[in-house]
Chain A
Amino acid sequence: KAGVTQTPRYLIKTRGQQVTLSCSPISGHRSVSWYQQTPGQGLQFLFEYFSETQRNKGNFPGRFSGRQFSNSRSEMNVSTLELGDSALYLCASSLERLAGAPNEQFFGPGTRLTVL
């Protein structure tokens, strides 16, 4: 079974631009979560989607948004980029065997975003 994939793997943008990152979960996984990873802050939760609905959102400004499609693929968008948005963005998918029961998350390789 193919793992979680993310595109692109690397991005360089300038302040004020916007960016869209893509995540394809493992086949059959309907939950997709996004995280921002930085050296000083560790892994910070952005949001989680399940069956095209955002179920949870972390403490990030409205410039960060996302969506999920009917095939469970997900995208996240960051508008008006700031220098502090430079980070590794990871997505993770999981299989919800039982409603409400958290399960192992499988991470993608991440997208390294650099904002100049």
Chain B
Amino acid sequence: GENVEQHPSTLSVQEGDSAVIKCTYSDSASNYFPWYKQELGKRPQLIIDIRSNVGEKKDQRIAVTLNKTAKHFSLHITETQPEDSAVYFCAASRGGYQKVTFGIGTKLQVIP
């Protein structure tokens, strides 16, 4: 089955700096890669996603890149703000079913 590895597990950055979270996946058939943000005590919410026919996607301060050959994808947050502090999960799934495999999560702390 699919295996998703995510690192780092914790990340502290100064407000205004950039944050990068990296994930690798094992199943070359995976074709959908969402990123979820989970604030303390709240439910995970999608912040950005990318499909395997796209190499990069950007939404304001957030961007995701995908390298299918290397089977890794990354989340980039620029100009970080304290409200970006949360746990971020990467995930991978393949067509045909909604079987989503999540990474272990990265706890991001943005220091004011």
Which residues on A are within 8 Å of B, measured CB to CB?
A: 31, 33, 35, 41-45, 48, 50, 55-56, 58-59, 90, 94, 96, 100-110
Contacts and interface: CB of A to CB of B under 8 A. Distances in A.
B27 to A, nearest CB: 13
B100 A45 contact: yes
B43 A56 contact: no
B100 A105 contact: yes
Interface in B65-112: 89, 93-105
Contact of B97 (A35, A48, A104, A105): A48
Given A33-B100, A104-B34, A43 B44 contact: yes
B12 interface: no
Question: Considering residues B36, B42, B43, B103, which has the most beta carbons from chain A within 10 angstroms of its beta carbon?
Answer: B43
Contacts of A100: 95-97
A31 B98 contact: yes
Contacts of B105: 42-43
B98 A56 contact: yes
Question: Size band of the B side of the interface?
Answer: 20 to 34
Contacts of A96: 98
Interface of B: 1, 31-32, 34, 36, 42-46, 49, 89, 93-105
B34 A105 contact: yes
Contacts of B45: 107
Nearest to B34: A104
14 contacts: A35-B102, A41-B104, A42-B102, A42-B105, A48-B97, A94-B98, A100-B95, A100-B96, A102-B31, A104-B46, A105-B46, A106-B46, A107-B43, A109-B42
A45 B99 contact: yes
A43 B89 contact: yes
Given A94-B98, A101-B95, A102-B98, A109 B103 contact: no
B43 A109 contact: yes
B98 to A, nearest CB: 5
